[in-house]
Structure 1
Amino acid sequence: MKITATIITFNEGENIRAACESVAWADEILVVDSESTDATRDIANDLGARVLINSWPGFSKQKQFAVDAAANDWIFSLDADERISPELQSSIDELRETEESQLADGYRVSRRAFYMGRWIKGGGWYPDYQLRLFNRRRGHWGDRVIHESVVMDKGGRVMTLHGDLLHYSMRDPDHHRRMIEERYAPLGAEQMLKEGKRTSTLQMTIAGPLAFVRSFILKGGFRDGRAGLRIAKLAAHHASLKHSLLHRLQNRN
């Protein structure tokens, strides 16, 4: 079982070293960079990664570009702000010694997010399963605009690996808010429109409060204390903004 670890990047100079070191075990590390203006490519090259440059086509398409360019059929897709835990590393090591006929077609992993210096367990943030290790002959990246995921062929067998993928995406609430306003809400509205969804004045009004209740109460965000409260408030902001942007898009179209 030979594995290519793929990482897509844009100005990830602060993250790329740790990301590459996290997958140093891979038979190939492939970094697909969308024309970074910092030292991302130089750092990746110095660490032995194969680096390709591809103009930004969107998350799913960029990740699929990396899959298609990989030297091996087995792919582990890692985001630049993610790291592999020792437990997950051990699970992957065991898989690599397994007979091909005994392997599933894809493997999902639990993702552990860190926020305000702590592991977030509530609010729907954990275990946040992600299908990240897969055979490209049996799966591919879907076409979602945001929250992209691997789609397995019909009949593809998926199993779960032991150990977490560690996620360090949100540095603080201000960074979280910027990500919502600059990426998640606009792309989320675009995805909803693509799926034929519509919103209304009523939905725009209640989306925020409902998101807060879902995150903080129904999904246990209160167990994470101040961090859980911050996350719930920003979930409300995200939902309200996404519906507002969707309303503009649907009226424009």
Structure 2
Amino acid sequence: MMKNTLSVIVITKNEEDRISRCLSSVTHIADEIIVFDSGSTDKTVEIAKQFTDKLFVTDWQGYGIQKQRALDKAACDWVLSIDADEEVDSKLAQEITSLLNQDVIEHNAYKVRWKNIIFGKPTRFGRTARACTRLFRRHGSRFDGAIVHEKVLFEGETGVIKKGFLNHYSIRDFEHLLYKNRLYAVLMAEKKFAKGKKSYGIPLAVLRGLITFIQIYVFRLGFLDGGRGLLYAVIYAQYTFNKYAGLWSLEQQSKQ
């Protein structure tokens, strides 16, 4: 048993093909697993119940609000927030266990490294290995209310767990890839519009997309991942363009 207890929180909707892998990866390190489902019509809830009795079905008001609902139910010292399409690998699990067994833990939150799994194979470059904040003290932490790309808020600096990965199985197939590209672009456009952000026109949206491609494919060495690296760079560049083109379209609609 770890000196500091751990709650794992997961939000779900129609994740029957991925939720078992996700929850299986944390059962041996979690003191409790909390799942918040927003109306799955498949077997997600049934499968999740095999791992926890702390399962709640609610409406959907956005990622930030849903994760805060899950956080509100957590009772342990620390919280690990992961998505249903993610998996804690064995090395990361060991590092989390080692950290939470310390008498004094330096930071209030920790980033973990991400590894994208694209069509069954991991990518090593591009946006893989960027760190995201997922492990944090429960007391004093909260999620913002963002509808998408939510952030956990806390006091102090963030540490980094440098060993192990959070494997990210984001893409089921090419159709699902295009669906997510469109969905997140629309949501981010709406988020930026609500905050009063400006698109500065379609030409700049094109330029932003090109810059994104160069960043991922060239500067972050995405080309070393072969066809998967090229596909990911193109798709993410397209997402960037769609996001700002969507913002521009909302600006035009507001003027009518």
Tell me, yes or no, whether TM beats 0.5.
Answer: yes
**Residue of 56, 67, 74 corresponding to 2:71:** 67
Tell me, yes or no, if the aligned pair for 1:130 and 1:149 is still in contact at 8 Å.
no
Q: Which residue of 2 aligns with 1:2?
A: 5
Q: How much has 1:53 moved relative to structure 2?
A: 1.2
Equivalent residue number for residue 202 of structure 1? 203
Deviation at 1:103, TM superposition (A): 4.7
C-alpha distance after superposition, 1:101-149 (max 9, x if no partner): 44521111111111133222222x1212111111121222123332222
Q: What is the Cα-based RMSD across aligned positions, in Å?
A: 1.7
Separation of aligned partners in 1, 2:6 and 2:24: 15
Structural mapping, 1:24-43, within 5 Å: 24-25=27-28, 26-43=30-47
Shift in alpha-carbon separation, 1:206–1:35, aligned structure 2, 3 A: same
3-state SS of paired residue (1:46): coil
Aligned length: 248
How far, CA to CA, are the matches of 1:49 and 1:22 in structure 2?
17
Report the AA paired with residue 14 of structure 1.
D
CA contact (8 A) 1:145 1:190 kept: no
Tell me how far apart the structure 1 counterparts of residues 217 and 52 of structure 2 sit (CA, whole Å): 43
Is residue 82 from structure 1 mapped to residue 86 from structure 2 by the alignment? yes
Indicate the residue corresponding to 1:165 in structure 2.
166
Residue matched to 1:186: 186
Percent identity reads 32
Structure 1: give runs of 5+ residues left out of the alignment: none
In the alignment, structure 1 residue 134 sits paired with structure 2 residue 122:
no
In structure 2, list runs of 5 or more residues that go unmatched: none
Which range moved further: 114-123 or 10-19?
Answer: 114-123
Amino acid at match of 1:63: K
1:238-249 alignment, distance < 5 Å: 238-249=239-250
Tell me which residue corresponds to 1:21: 24
Residue 92 of structure 1 corresponds to 96
Task: Name the stretch that deviates more: 66-75 or 114-123.
Answer: 114-123
Change (3 A) 1:226 1:102: closer
